[in-house]
Amino acid sequence: MTIAHPAPRPTTREERALALYRAHGEEIKHLSGAIYRVPSQDGQRSFDVEYGRHEACACPDYLYRGGSCVHILALAIATAKGTIRHPELAAGAVS
């Protein structure tokens, strides 16, 4: 007999962002100001992401669909976990 499996739920952008962070979080780099470089999900490319008061990404998903893409979300996870230091969020930081 066969066991019926429930249909897989569609993968959400948040789940893909977490997978991206787990696979390539160490490769996220702060470039300058509010600009970061975030690897693509396959690790073959990378996109420049503006993160902070204004958020934008150079990837097609952001450009054509709009809203937060997996790169912005993965960067948000990285800053929340402290993997990446976020200058704008480091209040009172003395350099």
Q: Are 51 and 86 in contact (CB under 8 A)?
A: yes
The set of residues, in sequence order, having a beta carbon less than 8 Å from that of 70 and lying 6+ positions away, is 13, 16, 17, 20, 41, 61
Our finding on whether 51 is near Zn ion (CB under 5 A) is no
Between 68 and 83, name the residue whose CB sits nearer to Zn ion. Answer: 68
At 41, which amino acid appears?
A: Q
Q: Which one of 17, 71, 73, 74 is in contact with Zn ion (CB under 5 A)? A: 71
Between 6 and 20, name the residue whose CB sits nearer to Zn ion. Answer: 20
Q: Which one of 20, 28, 57, 73 is in contact with Zn ion (CB under 5 A)? A: 57
Between helices 13-24 and 70-81, what is the axis angle to 10°? 60
Nearest approach in angstroms of CB 23 to Zn ion is: 15
Our finding on whether 59 is near Zn ion (CB under 5 A) is yes
